[in-house]
Structure 1
Amino acid sequence: MGIRNESRVNGFFLSGLTDQPELQLPLFFLFLGIYIVTVVGNLGMISTIVLSSQLHIPMYYFLSSLSFIDFCYSSVIIPKTLAMILSRDKYISYSGCMSQFFFFCMFAVCECYMLAAMAYDRYVAICRPLLYNVIMSPRVCSLLVAGVFSVGLFFAMLFDGCLIPLDYCGPNIIKHYFCDIMPLIKLSCSSTYIDEILIYVVGGFNMVTPSVTIVTSYAFIISSILRIQSKEGRAKTFNTCGSHLTAVLIFYGSLISTYLKPAASSSAIQEKVTSVFYTMMIPMLNPLIYSLRNKEVQNAVKKLLKRNPSS
């Protein structure tokens, strides 16, 4: 990610979530609490899955990968936001800004496709149970996860490649609390028509493709659930998918309301509030959703605590 010599600014100033001084300290403690819960929840989920042999199945392999993505995803945004609030220094260098957006984009795209991979895993488990171990072999699961990270890396490079050639002549105040693509494009003094078309086309592709995979998978899953005779069987089967559906609805709902709508349809404050959901709240909520609704994870945690009472 090289820096163009023609860029007339060496860095940017982030406007943050609010300019009101009395809200800075409450926001700092709120975001600090969110980040602590996010780190403990996601690293705890990864540790539980790694240390519990009963969780060494594809479903939890994907879940541990999702937890890793959420941990990295939030770490790209929240520490810089906390430092900015605490020091009141809202400056970020040009290279720092491009790097922050690169990793934010990479892990956001990874989350989209990881949720799709998890939906496919649930489809195979419920609709093709006899072939599950064959279809979702360790090699296939590893290839799916590697594919998710490869797609994230590719699109992050593509989007970052749209931003780096642009000239920024000033003002250099980004009306956001992190370096996102739309606020950066609005600051450019270059022609951004092609970039905006690419953003909507590629961004739409990255939301529609996983969404279609998820919707199709759950259409088959619901059809299979309805054919189950016993109420207990239907409830148990649906509970295995409930956590994933909850995570999908929250994540995609906040993304679509931010990126796939006309730029003039909402204010900068509304965009900031919406973006808090997918940059801070979702990485925190995912491990809570999956642990609170999943008896296997709860039992694994209890066994680990009994094995290591000092923890």
Structure 2
Amino acid sequence: MITGAAGFLGSHLCDRFIREDYHVIAMDNLITGDLRNIEHLFKLENFEFFHHDVSKFIHVAGHLDYILHFASPASPIDYLKIPIQTLKVGALGTHNCLGLAKEKKARILVASTSEVYGDPLVHPQTEEYWGNVNPVGPRGVYDEAKRFMESITMAYHTYHNVETRIIRIFNTYGPRMRLNDGRALPAFIGQALRGEDLTVFGDGSQTRSFCYVDDLVEGIYRLLMSDYAQPVNIGNPNEISLKDFAEEVLKLTGSSVKISYKPLPVDDPKQRRPDITKAKSLLGWEPTVDRAEGLKRTYEYFKSLPKEEWSRQPKEFKK
């Protein structure tokens, strides 16, 4: 079972497990997900979809081997608009998934994030770093939801002997991202496609490390199949400043627009780079798609979308 299955990462995970010949139960309440990401799977006998909010009780008939909990708003534009739902899916949703794993004697992998490190005082970030998070700042609803997710997952592992895995995902990109989701890469490409100046916050010196989605999915799969229960960073350690990244996007798109600078959002991390020593040693994993190739694939995907998608506004959410 994959929660958040109609989202960016969830849909790619559905594809991967179908290729591995699993029967996939996909679950999503579609608050940020899009059925178009998985509609190509609907005709398959070994794929089924449940429109359900995992913050409410989950019932699945029959046997389950694995649960991958990826249900959560993941971009600032979403979780700043729906902060309570974000907290609920990290807390209640994770609790429900863990309860299901316990009942079914299934192994569960939960999707945590590099945001548990907050605005880090340690660089690069190792799994042993506890983070520098503002629990009452605007980003706290996402950061603390994921930190609670890790805590309750380890509690179920320790006290109920549930087989658990925790992945800390760093910035990931690729096809099926939403152009309007507020993250740097789709925002830059969307602005370039529309002929708008690229918006960089602060002076652009803050750094990010971008991992192509195929590499991330391989890391997730290997972690799920491993016997390691502690958190593992999965991401690309190739770090770049957002100013330099914006210039890369301009070069890729051939756009003649400029870079405009706006004030830095509250609690925006100044550095982000994973230490992937554990992933290398425990999983034999490291990224293989370099940023130039990944950006090219992603740009081609966005460029192929209908032009009305280029300027589509983010959906409005019920409070």
**What TM-score does the superposition give when structure 1 sets the normalisation length?**
0.27
Higher relative contact order (CA 8 A, sep 6+): 1
Larger Rg: 1
More strand by proportion, 1 or 2? 2
User: Which structure has greater helix proportion?
Assistant: 1
